[in-house]
Structure 1
């Protein structure tokens, strides 16, 4: 990891995170036509539930390929995002999404216990994502109900 050379504002950090989320909605392509991995530092880390921790762009690319290969479409609901800033490089985005998984569709709140609500912890420095830990239910289509008695009925 290199030393930080440029100070960023919270709004600038937020703009990097928004570019990342919008790239997902656009099949992994950024607004400038580049690939989503261009938004990451070389030694970045990404955590995704049921996949684990990806270290560096090559592993992050594998994670995105594995997870993205199961998702036909996704849309984030930008108007409802909550942004929480800590005064440093780390901040949190909380929101909802909807889309089509290979096993079926999802929409936050339908059903209330289903997929679609998420929270991401970002670390952005020097206009690059250093770390993003993604917290959500990866059972997008809501098929994993037998293991939870309150959902099995």
Structure 2
């Protein structure tokens, strides 16, 4: 297979990342009715806290199935996103969300220490996500508070 490199602008990379985030809000379905996995390169990597590193589309599908299976709904707050562009293939999106986990609802800022704030680091090339590392607190319902004494104050 020949290596191809299509030049992309930051706005084009951002559009791919937005399509990915919007697909999450629609249970993994993209705006054209496809699968969220269609947005990924065959050998892409995704990291999710407490799950680990998924290598390739098959493993990414398992990760999304595992994580998505714990969520009843999720809504990303697009108007409040912060974007950081590297001038290369890497872009970063920081944002907030709300939704319902199987253990209960969450909303960014309620409480302030709870779930809902996140940061995704994307590497996007040739209109495909090559890498997406997701940084967030996966304890959506805030059940893991006994191990952190400052939360009781």
| Coarse TM-score class (shorter-chain normalised) | over 0.9
Question: Residues 138 and 2 from structure 1, CA distance in 2 versus in 1: closer, same or farther, beyond 3 angstroms?
Answer: farther
1:111-130 equivalence runs, <5 A: 111-130=111-130
Structure 1 contact 49–135 (Cα < 8 Å) conserved: yes
Find the aligned partners of 1:17 and 1:50 in 2 and give their Cα distance: 22
- 2:142 maps to 142
C-alpha contact 1:4 1:125 (8 A) present in aligned 2: no
Aligned to 1:83: 83
Cα distance in structure 1, aligned partners of 2:5 and 2:106: 41
Over 2 Å off, 4+ runs: 1-5
Secondary structure of 2:93's counterpart equals strand
Who is 2:30 aligned against? 30
What number of residue pairs does the alignment pair up?
Answer: 153
Superimposed CA distance per residue, residues 86-141 of structure 1 (whole angstroms, 9 cap, x where no aligned partner): 00000100000000000000000000000000000000000000000000000000
- How large is the RMSD of aligned CA atoms in angstroms? 1.1
After TM superposition, the score normalised by the length of structure 2 is 0.98
Q: TM-score, normalised by structure 1?
A: 0.98
